[in-house]
Chains A and B, each alone.
Chain A
Amino acid sequence: MKWTNVKLIFTREVRDQLRDRRTLFTIAILPLFLYPLLGMLVFQVMQFTREYPVRIWIVGSEHLPQQPRLIEGTQFSAGLFNYPKDNELLEVVLADPDSDAAGSEERHLEAKRAVQSADFDAVIIFPPSFSEQLERFRKQLGDSRLPIQNEAVGEIPNPRIIYDQTRDESRVAKERLATVLHNWRENVGREYLKQNNISEIVAKPFVAEETDVASEEQRRAAVWSKLLPFVILIWALTGAFYPAIDLCAGEKERGTLETLLSSPARRGEIVWGKLLTIMLFSSATALLNLVSMSVTATLMMGQLEQLEQTFPELPMGLPPLVSLVWLVVALIPVSALFSALSLALATFARSAKEGQYYLMPLLLVTMPLIVLPVLPSVQLELGTSLIPVTGLMLLLKSLMESDYQLALVHVVPVIGMTSICCLFAIRWAIDQFNNESVLFRESERVEPGVWLRHLVRNRGETPSISAALLCATFLLILRFFANFQFSTPESWSDLATVTVISQIAFFAAPALIMAFILTRNPRATLLFRVPHWLTLPAAFLLAVLMHPTAMTISAQLQELYPAPEQLQVMVQKLIEDAPNIWALLFVLALTPAICEEFAFRGFILSGLRHLGHPSWAILLTSLLFGVAHGIIQQSIAASIVGCVIGYLAVQSGSILTCILFHLTHNSLAILSQILMEDFLAFLPAAKWAVQSIEGGYSYSWSFVTASLALAVLILVWFSRLPHQLYAEEKLQEAIDNQTVRAVAK
């Protein structure tokens, strides 16, 4: 890779994008106007609720008591408002005192009509006996000899507010009426107390006082740390997507891609140049949005002061500077990840229009990952830090809240996971640039029948990449639904049945069926051939030597992600129920070894090797193998073991070697659980290597290191075995080994 070429392509693409009005609009103009517009909107709404005068109709004002007064003249009493000037915003119309001729039913209907026809924004009706009842209650209260009984007083009829929820004016009117009425009711209550010489304190004997330990700055940081990462992520994604479409699908559409491909720029250089461009625009969009948002927020703060009076607990003010600095730092991995993803998708699209369609699925996939960290109770820990996007957001959140210790611990997994995702996306994009069928594919009519026939008729010796991915997806979906289908095993025979059936039905059978339908050579696909005889003892020995390392990794994982104790106890109990050790090994070691190997190292790896890079194929297969294990502790360990088995598969070319390794590995894990106590009792000298600890045993570091070193030696032996490469792999090797490039001077 020549970085001068990457730089050249990068500068060209940036200039190209800057000359495009659409891009400039989305990244620069839109954010500049969006927030002021949004701000104005919020401001308008607030203005409306605060200052819009409403018309109130009061029906039955003649039934109101003299004291305390609700109405003075044609207005509510001045003392009933939280803000005195609010009185002017209530335009009050008193209904004519009504003769008894009109029933209350009729008044009600009339009021409803008045609100519906928008003659009035709200109506309040006081029932006829309102004041008399209040008076009776007051008298009753005064007579302290009698206990107060509701039955004696009779019910006080409630006033009724009539409004229209769907009309903003009416809602505002109702809110204001409610406030006035609330204050008036308090006055009435106070009056009663005063009459009976009771202190007002009786009604409110105490008030709970609150102390918030968070400083004002911390509170601001907490609010912004939830909001800003979200905004940044959304804009980083949007800012990456549109330039990506233009740079890849657009280039295809305008016919300049062939020009570029016939130039000496290598595919990797083209992809990197484009990726950096997309990253630049993605971060610029996010940054501009951040700036525009901050500026608008600052300008609006003055206006918001009144809001602060209403909601004093809501910390108003700009985010602290440190938070902003962290946001900008975090923008780099965020935009890198989104840019790589968008680039890969955009390369796949054959036109800009098709590219647009991919935005929605991309959003659908990333949205839950973006929303997850906002949920309460989702904390930064190793498990969450390994989830792409989510981990990054949680890390950013803890940085913004100045929780540096927590952040520091998780920086490595978060950045590691993000880098892996980025590299995969970049690899994918580069492969797409090498893929003729992607570069030059034409729109074809969608006919599933024709497609299926094509899949079978034009099948190759070994499965295609898409067939391998199809198989993996199918297995994972099957497994997912099977989890619902099978209840938790309650006895050993349950466990045995469920394990054997699911292994055969969800791993072995689909892989075998697909191998026979989708390939011409199922034997080669499933690596069904006799290996070099020495690889068998070598695989066995390798599994034995790797056992201490595998156990140590499992123990570490167990510590990081403790599995629920209940589950452990249950599994332990089921295992103890096993009739004998052979049954145990058959169900938990041999069956998975055979079934999983046929599926993963057989069908899936054979398909993915068409990628042309054996290491990528092994890695991807192992990740899928890990995901298929379902539980996070097992997934990580399985992915690591999967890499080793994948390597054995490529080097030995035989499924037997893989099965033997897998079988040995699983068997040792089971046997060591059961027999370690006896073994240590039998051979106390082994104590330097193995120690019994609570709930199991652990290997000493020196023993682990020594055995791992020997294992590496065996792997080196495997690396020297003559092995078959796929045509694509040979080609890639040749391309990578091209002699010094001739440079025109």
Chain B
Amino acid sequence: MVLNLFTRQFGHCSPISSVMIEVRELTKTYSDLRRGQFVAVDGISFHAQPGEIFGLLGPNGAGKTTVLRVLSTILCPTAGRVRVNGFDVLTQPDLVRYQIGFVSANTAVYDRMTAWELVEYFGRLYGVETNTLRERMENLFCKLQMDEIRDLLGAKMSTGMKQKVSIARALIHDPPVVIFDEATSGLDVLVARALLDTIGELREQGKCVIFSTHIMREVERLCDRIAIMYRGHILSEGTLHELLESHQQSDFEELFFRLISEHDQQHAAAGIST
């Protein structure tokens, strides 16, 4: 009820499709002085629908952040195709940015801006009309319990407060896709739990949520479908149930470690054979 505003869809301005996010054969390489061309993401593919939480699970350095940065048009793909609500991230980055709300450990809030000012600023950048903007801001501040930090400067906020502001900032234009990159890192248990609840609600509103983390419990609890990422590859993808079934495991953590060690063994074998 509170967030009923967000149920409106953006379908009218994009090709109608049931796939909200489409990643095909995405590769991203960085040129690195020491290692030469470093492949951060190696030809991965996945897709996500509206009303679904898609989890990217992987250890640090797996390439999750790179994938999400490509999705949010901050990085350009080296090869492959990435579409968000039908728009190509490479050739239509401006249009893609209207489709997504991006919350990451790297998207900080401005130190010298209050919570209210910051959310308003981004709302305006997205071109949200003044009346709508006001209404949405009131709702968001109420829903995320941010009323007491409304006039607090970013520099004086705690990590949890900052994260709330970031979420409000990412939702202000009512995007069909919301991306959370390691969003719970650094949060205490209470705040993290509240955040997970909020994400759950976004799914109820029919949004497509991409959620990356290295914490397995969060994925187990929240995600409809999961992709396990390691060293730039997706090792396995499916619902929690499917994953456990296909690899004949009962414990998710066990499954995760098995997949990773299998990959390492294959890699080592390939390294020897070549």
Contacts and interface: CB of A to CB of B under 8 A. Distances in A.
B97 A262 contact: yes
A742 B13 contact: yes
A735 B73 CA distance: 12
A454 to B, nearest CB: 5
A744 B94 contact: no
A731 B93 CA distance: 11
A255 B106 contact: yes
Contacts of B122: 263
Contacts of A262: 72-74, 97, 100, 102, 107
Top 9 closest pairs, chain A to chain B, by CB: A255-B108, A734-B91, A742-B13, A19-B112, A259-B107, A262-B102, A743-B127, A744-B173, A264-B97
Contacts of B36: 454, 457-458
B89 to A, nearest CB: 11
A734 B76 CA distance: 13
Q: How large is the interface on A (under 10, 10 to 19, 20 to 34, 35 or more residues)?
A: 35 or more
Contacts of B94: 264, 266, 735, 738, 741
Contact of B125 (A264, A437, A458): A264
A255 B127 CA distance: 23
Interface string A242-278: 0000000000001110110111111000000000000
Contact of B33 (A9, A20, A454, A741): A454
Contacts of A266: 94
Contacts of A207: none
B31 interface: yes
B110 A16 contact: yes
B132 interface: yes
Contact of A734 (B72, B75, B90, B124): B90
Contact of A450 (B33, B90, B109): B33
B37 to A, nearest CB: 6
Interface residues of B, number: 50
Contact of A742 (B95, B106, B109, B117): B95
B250 interface: no
Contacts of A5: 125
Nearest to A18: B112
Interface in B115-173: 117, 121-122, 124-129, 132, 153, 166, 169, 173
Interface of B: 10, 13-14, 30-31, 33-34, 36-37, 69, 72-76, 90-95, 97-100, 102, 104, 106-113, 117, 121-122, 124-129, 132, 153, 166, 169, 173-174
A745 interface: yes
Nearest to A745: B129
Nearest to B93: A735
Contact of B92 (A259, A738, A745): A738
A488 B173 CA distance: 70
A739 interface: yes
A731 B90 contact: yes
A12 interface: yes
10 contacts: A15-B113, A262-B102, A439-B74, A444-B33, A454-B34, A734-B92, A739-B92, A742-B95, A743-B126, A744-B126
B102 A264 contact: no
B127 A744 contact: yes
A458 B91 contact: no
Nearest to A17: B112
